[in-house]
A = this chain, B = another copy of it.
Amino acid sequence: MAETRRFIAAAQAQAPLFAGIDLGGTSIKIGVVDDLGRPLSWLSIPTEIEKGAEDASGRMGAGVHRAIREAGLAPNAVSWVGLGSPGEMDIPSGMILTPVNLTGWIDFPIRDRVSHHCGMPVAFENDANAAAYGEFWVGSGRDFQSMALFTLGTGIGCGIIIGDVVVQGAHSHGGESGHIVIDVSECARPCNCGHNGHLEAYASATGVIRRTQEALNNGRATSLSKRIAAGAELTPKLLADEAETGDELSLEIVLETARYMGIGAVNMIQIIEPDAVLLGGAMTFGGREAALGRRFLDRVKEEVRRHVRPALAEKTVIDFASLGGDAGYIGAAGVARLAYRIKRSA
């Protein structure tokens, strides 16, 4: 699914250069990217949440300088740093507030602390928005004026770009589209967030596993049972494997998931009508490289055609993202580049 990024040498890089930080609950990816969005170096360090936000900020600063060295660059070769972080946050003030995935990092001025440790200005962004900007800049979204990226994993993240502007929302909550309501009926499924009927309850890995478990509990015949009895864990990957070897239930659940993601795409199109809706993250069933992934995408498109007027359904591109796990740091670097250009032109 993720195309392998080709790293370029320092001598080929187009100045100015930017560093991007993709802060996650488990690990932090840091890379140096040139003005054309091409990575020069890349590294990953553990987040070690328990050491606290200030400690991690120090290690992010050191990581940026290590990435600069590993790219074969002089210490002052990078102009700006971009930082993508999970929410809840206040983007304009550079604060993380009460982020669910960074336990204990409460009301922390992360942008300015990372800037202090880097010795460089830092542009701050929501991680889903940063990933979307990466795809918009140099990934599957590069030919479009506007796009939305859904990131399918344990939850469903979302970032929206309209004409080089990241839709951050009035209070830094733009693009929380995993929590749009797609089922108002009595039988709506409960979401991780405690409410009912949200897209994430249907189309995230959590939703997929829950729906599969229900089918197993109902005694549906499936090759999954044998795999699970042999010790395999019920995951979207297991489901994909079994679907590919002909298991009917597994395929049914994958395509049902595509139907729900199609509804997510429909609602995005009816509200902002972007040029493209992209699907990325860990749960894309092999993406465009896999027969199952292509079937998944076709089913998403079918659902869009079912609800959106024909002329529009035809024009809107529905595709997989292409940067894989690199979208976050490349996008963060892109956000830094945006901030740098705005400052330069001011």
A contact set with B: CB distance below 8 Å:
88, 144-146, 158, 160, 162-163, 165, 167-171, 173-185, 187-188, 193, 195, 198, 202, 259-260, 263, 266-275, 306-309, 311-312, 315-316
Give the distance in Å from the alpha carbon of A189 to the alpha carbon of B344 in the complex.
Answer: 53
Q: How far, in angstroms, from A308 to B198 measured CA to CA in the complex?
A: 11
Give the distance in Å from the alpha carbon of A95 to the alpha carbon of B275 in the complex. Answer: 20
Contacts of A145 in B (CB 8 A): 170
The 29 sampled A-B contact pairs (Cβ below 8 Å) are: A160-B271, A162-B165, A163-B165, A169-B272, A170-B273, A170-B275, A170-B315, A171-B273, A171-B315, A171-B316, A174-B271, A176-B270, A176-B271, A176-B273, A177-B271, A178-B270, A180-B266, A180-B271, A181-B266, A183-B183, A183-B184, A184-B259, A185-B188, A193-B309, A198-B307, A267-B271, A271-B271, A271-B272, A272-B272
Interchain nearest-CB distance for A14 vs B (Å): 29
Stoichiometry (number of copies): 2
Residues on B with C-beta less than 8 A from A263 are 181, 184
Among A177, A185, A308, the most chain B Cβ lie within 10 Å of the Cβ of: A185
